[in-house]
Structure 1
Amino acid sequence: MLNKLSESIYYLSNQDEKERPTLGLVCGDQFSLLIDAGNSTQHAKDFLLEIEKLNVPPVKYLVITHAHWDHFLGMNEFDATVIVNNKTSELLKKWQSYTFDDSSLKKYVNTNQMSTKCMEIIQAEIPNRTSFKLSSPHIIFENTLTIDLGNKVCLLERIKSTHTDDSTIVYIPDEKVVFLGDAAYGTTTNALFHIKQSLLLPMIEDIRKHDAEFFLLGHESICDLNEMTIYWDELTAASQSVTSPSINEAIENFKLEMKRDPNENELFFMKAFVNDRIVQSR
């Protein structure tokens, strides 16, 4: 079921057990725009079935927030103009060259080009895999792009991100809503989860320059301004405490600066920033 945020904005909640991220729908007077295509043919079809239940303008655009499989593998199902930034376009070319029979999928997993979970979802939720080929995007932008849906403007912007180098956010100014995709998360390198410390403050600045009251995230669905402010504050405090690849030193720095112990979230973030120090030193 689609969740209604306003008269013109809906979202399909993330389903972590199925590796399904949040998908968005923004409606203008003339057209509708989708944010992310889902992790499979079936995910996309489920989204389309929910959209069909609404009396909304026809879907004209589909924005892919970044080139991680769970956000784009369903895009062939949509009769829409697919929009990506130029870095996402480059990264998608590898997937456009893939074949999806069992033998090929196992090869991609064995060479770390694809996760086992991705392979399993493709096998279960993309029919006719032997002939499946990922489509190409239609519009490629560099930094920003404005889309007018008819009295409803969407601003697309490639931002600095702790998650990927190709993160696009979608901001709807009159609604004070921003779809972040996975931009505000960390990433995994060589099985080590980390948050890119050098990009944290630039990312927060890129997002906070938009006057937003609601934030749609890829794997939490929706946060209000107060919740996001707490998130930013905890991330920032954790980052400031990490000056070396030592969690013990970071904890002591945190206690000295904040005059308290870190909470559970802050401790998790601190470990991720310590891991980033380790990743960067290799």
Structure 2
Amino acid sequence: MLNKLSESIYYLSNQNDKDRPTLGLVCGDQYSLVIDGGNSVQHAQEFLQEISRIDAPPIKYVVITHAHWDHFLGMNEFNATIIVNRLTQQMMNIWRNFSFDDHSLHEYVESNKMSSHCMEIIKNEIPMRNSYQLNDSDISFEGSLELDLGNKVCRIETIRSTHTDDSTIVYIPDEKTIFLGDSPYGTTTNSLFHYKQAMLLPMIEDIQKYDADHFLLGHESICDLDEMDVFWRELTSCNRAVTSTSLDSAITNFEKEHERTPNENEMFFLQAFVNDQRLQLQHK
């Protein structure tokens, strides 16, 4: 079911049990723009079915926020202009060379090119997958891009991120709404989930320059400005506390600064920053 944020903005909520991210729809007077293409043919078709129930202008553009499979494997279904940044284009080209028969999928899982969960989604939710091939992108941009859907401007920009090097956001100025994709999340390297300490403050700086009241994240419910401020405060305070590979030291530093124990979210962030310290040590 589509969630209505305003007369112009809708979104389909994430489903974490199916690795389905939030999908967005921005409607202008002439055209509509979709944010992310879904994790499968079925996901995209369900989104299109929901859109058909409202009086939305034709979908002209689909913006892919980054090159993780759950955000683009359904994009062929929209029959629209696919927009990606230059690095996302390069990374998605790898998937354009994939085959999706059983044998190939198992090979990709064994060689860590694909997760087993991704393989199961493809098997269950992409019909005719033996002949499935990811379409090429139509527009590859560097930096930023501005689109007018008809009295509805969307700014598309690549930002610095703790999640990927190719994160793109979509900002709708007159609605004070920003679609962040997965950009504020951490990432997994060598089976270790971590938050990149070096990218945290640059990312927050890039996002906070937008005058936004509504924030839509890839795998969360919608957040308002107060909720995002809490999120940023927790992240930055945990980042300050982590100066080594010791979680105990990080907790001690945190408690010294705040005169309380970390809450559940903060413990998660502390561990993620400690993991980043460990990964950085391995690369030295």
TM-score, L = length of structure 2: 0.99
**Is 1:20 aligned to residue 45 of structure 2?**
no
What amino acid maps onto 1:102 in structure 2?
D
Once the two structures are superposed, what CA deviation does each residue of 1:79-100 show, in whole Å capped at 9, x if it has no partner? 1000000000000010000000
Corresponding residue SS for 1:10: strand
Helix, strand or coil at the partner of 2:29: coil
Q: After the TM superposition, which residues 52-201 of structure 1 pair with which residues of structure 2 at under 5 Å, given as runs?
A: 52-201=52-201
Q: State the AA in 2 paired with 1:190.
A: N
The structural deviation recorded for 1:221 is: 2.8
How much does 1:66 deviate? 0.2
- The residue type paired with residue 96 of structure 1 is R
Identical amino acids, percent of aligned pairs: 65
Structure 2: stretches of 5+ with no match in the other structure: none
C-alpha separation in 2, matches of 1:90 and 1:259? 47
Instruction: Tell me, in whole angstroms, the C-alpha distance in 2 between the residues paired with 1:221 and 1:78.
Output: 24
SS of 1:25 mapped into structure 2:
strand
The CA deviation at 1:258 is: 1.6
How big is the shift at 1:133? 0.5
State the distance in 1 between where 2:237 and 2:270 align. Answer: 9
Pair 1:43-2:43 in alignment: yes
How far has the Cα of 1:267 moved from its partner?
A: 1.0
Q: Give the counterpart letter for 1:261 in structure 2.
A: T
Q: Deviation of residue 261 (structure 1)? A: 1.4
Mapped partners of 1:196, 1:206: distance in 2: 15
Q: What SS class does the counterpart of residue 185 from structure 1 fall into?
A: coil
State the SS of the aligned residue for 1:171.
strand
Look up the SS of the partner of 1:98 in the other structure: coil
Considering only aligned residues, what root-mean-square deviation do their CA atoms show, in Å? 0.5
**Distance across 2 between alignment mates of 1:255 and 1:45:** 49
Write the distance in 1 (CA, Å) between the matches of 2:35 and 2:46. Answer: 15
AA in 2 matched with 1:214: H
Equivalents in 1 of 2:198, 2:260: separation in Å? 25
Q: Distance in 2 between matches of 1:206 and 1:24?
A: 21
Aligned residue for 2:259?
A: 259
In 2: Cα distance, 1:122 partner to 1:161 partner:
28
Deviation at 1:31, TM superposition (A): 0.5
Tell me how far apart the structure 2 counterparts of residues 12 and 97 of structure 1 sit (CA, whole Å): 29
Q: Identify the residue that residue 225 of structure 1 maps to in structure 2.
A: 225
CA displacement at 1:176 relative to structure 2: 0.3
Structure 1: 5+ residue stretches without partners: none
How far apart are 1:259 and its partner, in Å? 1.9
Matched, 1:280 2:280: yes
Structure 1 segments, 4+ long, off by >6 Å, are none
Distance in 1 (alpha carbons) for counterparts of 2:196 and 2:181: 17
TM-score (norm 1): 0.99
Deviations 1:146-170 (Å, cap 9, x if unpaired)? 0100110000010000000000000
Amino acid at match of 1:271: Q
Question: In 1, distance between residues paired with 2:267 and 2:130?
Answer: 46
Partner of 1:213: 213
